[in-house]
Amino acid sequence: MSEGGPLEERVARLREAVEAARTLGLEDEAAAARAVARRVGRRAGFGGEVYVMALAGGTGVGKSSVLNALAGETVSEVRAVRPTTDRPLAWVAADQQREIAPLLEWLKVDQVVTHADASLHGVAILDLPDIDSVRGEHRALVDTLLPRIDAVTWIVDPEKYDDERVHTYWRTLAPHADRLRFVFNKADRLTEEQRRIVADDLRARLVADGIPRPMLHVVSATTGDGIDRMRTELANAAHAKVIVSAKLEADRSEAAARLARAAGLDPEQGYAPLLAVARHEALVGEAVDGALTLVDPRGIGQQVRAAVLSRARGGGGSLIGRASVLLERFTGRTRRDADPVAYLGMWRSRGALGRVLNPVRAALVEAAAEVPPESRGRLLEALGAPAAEKDLERVLDNVTRDAASSFELPRSAIWPILGAAQLVAGALLVFAVAWLVTLFVSGGAVPVGSVDLPLLGPIPMPLAVLAGSVLLSAVLVWLLGLHASYVGRRLAARIRARTAAAVRAAVQAEGFAGLSRVEAARRVIAGALE
C-alpha cells in the first residue's frame, strides 16, 4: 500500500493537477495526465489493494457455510431454521481491516472477523444477508454495491439454481459479468453424473443470460469438495488485483511526476517556489520603491498642505492675503504647487515606468528560468510577462485615480470667523486713514482726542486706531496660519500614508499577480505527487 490515501483520492488530486497545469499552458502534459487519470478512474471495484468479494444468494443456499468452509473455521452462523436473523459480517485479514473500514461503515457492517490466512491474505469476504434476496427492493443495493467491490459470488443450490426470478435478475447484472462468480453448493447431494449435468446446464443458462464464460464452481460446503479450487482462484484474483493496482499506481505517479517536472518541480522534493522567498521579497521591495518614486506620496503631502493653506487664506486671510491667493490662482501657481489631485494625475512625468517594471520583469524571467526550456515560453505567458507593462501602468493609474477621487479639501468654521474679523480690521484701517486725511485737509482745525500709552505718552486717536487695526490683522493672519498648517499637516500625513499603503498593496498584489497565480497552480501540481 503506497502512502497518500486510497488510489481514488490520489487520482482526484491528479485531476486537480491537470487543471492547474492547463492554467500554466502545459496542455500536452495535462492531456497525457488526464488520459492516465481517466484510465485509473475507470477501474471498477474496491479502491484499495484488498480484493473484496460479497456472497449473495437466497436464504439457506449456504452462504455462511461456504464462508466457513473457505475460512476453515466457523466464522458465520449456519442456520437450518429460516427465516434467519443474520447480521452482515465481514471476514478480512487482520492487517487490512483498517483499509476496508470505510467500505464496511458504508455497508453498515459492524461484525468483523479477522483472519491470518496467509494464502487468502489479500481477500475480504462479505456475508450480507440483505442482498441474498432477489426481491426488487434489494436490487438497488446490489447495483450500488457492485461498483464498490471487486466481485459478487452468487451461490445456488440444487433446488434454487433453476429459479426463473434469479435468472431474470442475473440478466440485469450482465454488464458486470467479469466481476460475477457462481457457486453451485450442496453438491454432496448429487452424484458425479448429476453434478456434471447440472453444471453444464447452469453454465448454458448463464451464457443465455448474457454472461459469457461464467466462472462457476461446484462445491460442497459440508464435505469441502471444490473449496480448495475456489480458494486458489480467489487468491489468484486478489494477486491479479494487486498487480493491476500497482501498475495503475505507477502510471498515476509517473503522470504526476511528469506534470511536476514540466512546472519546474522536483518530484522528489515536492513544492518549492520558483523564486527563493528572499529574492521574491527583494524584487517586490524594489518595485514598490519604484512605484513610490513615481506616485510620490511625500510630494502629494506637500501639495495637500499648500492646498489647505491656500483655501484657508482665500476664506479667512487679510485683504492682501486674499488678493495674493487670487493672483496665485490666476497665474497657475496654485495648480502647480497646491493641487494634490493634479499632482496625482501627473505620476508619469516623475520618471520612467521602468523603475517598477524592471523588478517585475526580473522576477518573471528568473522564475521562468527555473522550468524546463520547453515549458518556459508558455509559463512566461501564464505569468503575464507580455502584458506586464500595460498591467503596471493600469495598476498605478488605478491607485492614483482612487487616491484622487477620495481626496477632499477640508473646510473649517474658524476660517470665515477669522475672515470676518479681518474685515473689521480692514474697516478700522480705512476709517483711521480717512480720519487722518480729514485732519490733514482741515490743517488741524478738527480737535482730536488722544490715548496715553506708557513710554510713548499721548498718541492721537486716529493713529492709535490705525496701528491697532494693523496689529489686529497681523495677529489674525498668524492665527489663521497656525490653524491651517495644523489641519494641513494632519491631512497631509494621513493622505501620504494612505497613498503609500495603496501603492504598496497594489504593486504586491497586482504587479506580481501572475507569479502568485503560477505558484498557486504549482502548489496544486505538487499536491498530486503525494
**Are the CB atoms for 100 and 6 separated by under 8 Å?**
no
Three-class secondary structure of residue 203 per DSSP: helix
Q: Is 111 in the site for ligand GDP (CB under 6 A)?
A: no
Three-class secondary structure of residue 401 per DSSP: helix
Nearer to Mg ion, 132 or 249 (CB): 132
Nearer to ligand GDP, 223 or 236 (CB): 223
The 10 Å Cβ neighbour count of residue 198 is 18
Nearer to ligand GDP, 63 or 241 (CB): 63
Nearer to Mg ion, 86 or 150 (CB): 86
Nearer to ligand GDP, 62 or 122 (CB): 62
Q: Is 68 in the site for Mg ion (CB under 5 A)?
A: no
Nearer to ligand GDP, 128 or 379 (CB): 128
Q: Is 185 in the site for ligand GDP (CB under 6 A)?
A: yes
Nearer to ligand GDP, 89 or 403 (CB): 89
Which partner from the list Mg ion, ligand GDP, none does 302 bind, CB cut-off 5 to 8 Å by kind? Answer: none
Q: Cell numbers at residue 104, please?
A: 464496511
Q: Is 86 in the site for Mg ion (CB under 5 A)?
A: yes
Q: Is 90 in the site for ligand GDP (CB under 6 A)?
A: no
Nearest to 216 by CA among 339, 205, 169, 418: 205
Q: Is 64 in the site for Mg ion (CB under 5 A)?
A: yes
Binding ligand GDP (rule: CB under 6 A), the pick from 34, 186, 280, 313 is 186
Which partner from the list Mg ion, ligand GDP, none does 221 bind, CB cut-off 5 to 8 Å by kind? Answer: ligand GDP
Q: Is 84 in the site for ligand GDP (CB under 6 A)?
A: yes
Kindly tell me the burial class for residue 147, based on how many C-beta atoms sit within 10 Å of its own C-beta (0-12, 13-18, 19 or more). exposed
Q: Is 445 in the site for ligand GDP (CB under 6 A)?
A: no
d(Cα 47, Cα 7) in Å, to the nearest integer?
6
Q: How many helices (H) and strands (E) does the chain have?
A: 19, 9
Q: Is 318 in the site for ligand GDP (CB under 6 A)?
A: no
Nearer to ligand GDP, 138 or 517 (CB): 138
Q: Which of the stretches 16-24, 27-35, 182-190, 509-517 binds ligand GDP when contact is defined by CB under 6 A? A: 182-190
**Rounded to the nearest whole angstrom, what is the least distance from the CB of residue 7 to ligand GDP in the complex?**
32
Q: Is 132 in the site for Mg ion (CB under 5 A)?
A: no
Which partner from the list Mg ion, ligand GDP, none does 400 bind, CB cut-off 5 to 8 Å by kind? Answer: none
**Rounded to the nearest whole angstrom, what is the least distance from the CB of residue 226 to ligand GDP in the complex?**
10
Site track for ligand GDP across 9-48, x = CB under 6 A: ----------------------------------------
Q: DSSP label at 45? A: S
In Å, what is the CA distance from 217 to each residue of 68, 196, 256, 443?
16, 11, 42, 147
**Rounded to the nearest whole angstrom, what is the least distance from the CB of residue 89 to ligand GDP in the complex?**
10
Q: Is 221 in the site for ligand GDP (CB under 6 A)?
A: yes
**Rounded to the nearest whole angstrom, what is the least distance from the CB of residue 146 to Mg ion in the complex?**
20
Classify residue 72 as left (phi > 0), alpha (psi -120 to 50) or beta: left
Nearest to 271 by CA among 20, 72, 522, 29: 522
Show the CA angle centred on residue 109, arms to residues 106 and 113, nearest 5°. 135
d(Cα 266, Cα 258) in Å, to the nearest integer?
10
**Rounded to the nearest whole angstrom, what is the least distance from the CB of residue 125 to Mg ion in the complex?**
12
How many residues sit close enough to Mg ion to count as binding (CB under 5 A)? Answer: 3
Nearer to ligand GDP, 224 or 354 (CB): 224
**Rounded to the nearest whole angstrom, what is the least distance from the CB of residue 20 to ligand GDP in the complex?**
50
**Are the CB atoms for 3 and 497 separated by under 8 Å?**
no
Q: Cell numbers at residue 500, please?
A: 503609500
3-state SS string for 452-505: EECCCEEEEHHHHHHHHHHHHHHHHHHHHHHHHHHHHHHHHHHHHHHHHHHHHH
Which partner from the list ligand GDP, Mg ion, none does 524 bind, CB cut-off 5 to 8 Å by kind? Answer: none
Binding ligand GDP (rule: CB under 6 A), the pick from 2, 222, 302, 324 is 222
Rounded to 10°, the helix 414-442/297-316 angle is 50
Nearer to Mg ion, 75 or 383 (CB): 75
User: What count of residues does the chain have?
Assistant: 530
In Å, what is the CA distance from 445 to each residue of 87, 441, 448, 458?
133, 9, 9, 19
Q: Is 64 in the site for ligand GDP (CB under 6 A)?
A: yes
Q: Which of the stretches 84-92, 116-124, 197-205, 217-225 binds Mg ion when contact is defined by CB under 5 A? A: 84-92
d(Cα 304, Cα 326) in Å, to the nearest integer?
18
**Rounded to the nearest whole angstrom, what is the least distance from the CB of residue 48 to ligand GDP in the complex?**
26
**Rounded to the nearest whole angstrom, what is the least distance from the CB of residue 156 to Mg ion in the complex?**
14
Q: Which of residues 226-255 bind Mg ion (CB under 5 A)?
A: none
Query: Which stretch of DSSP H or E encloses residue 143?
Result: helix 136-145
Q: Report the amino acid identity of residue 327.
A: L
Q: Cell numbers at residue 274, please?
A: 520558483
Nearer to ligand GDP, 14 or 89 (CB): 89
The 10 Å CB-count burial string (b at 16+, else e) for 298-319 is ebbbbbbbbbbbbbbbbbbbbe
DSSP sequence for 223-284: T-TTHHHHHHHHHHHHHHHHHHHHHHHHHHHHHHHHHHHHTT-BTTTB---SS-HHHHHHHH
**Rounded to the nearest whole angstrom, what is the least distance from the CB of residue 69 to ligand GDP in the complex?**
8
Q: Is 189 in the site for ligand GDP (CB under 6 A)?
A: yes
Nearer to ligand GDP, 47 or 57 (CB): 57
Q: Which residues of the chain form contacts with Mg ion (CB under 5 A)? A: 63-64, 86
Give residues in contact with ligand GDP (CB under 6 A): 57, 59-65, 78-80, 84, 185-186, 188-189, 220-222
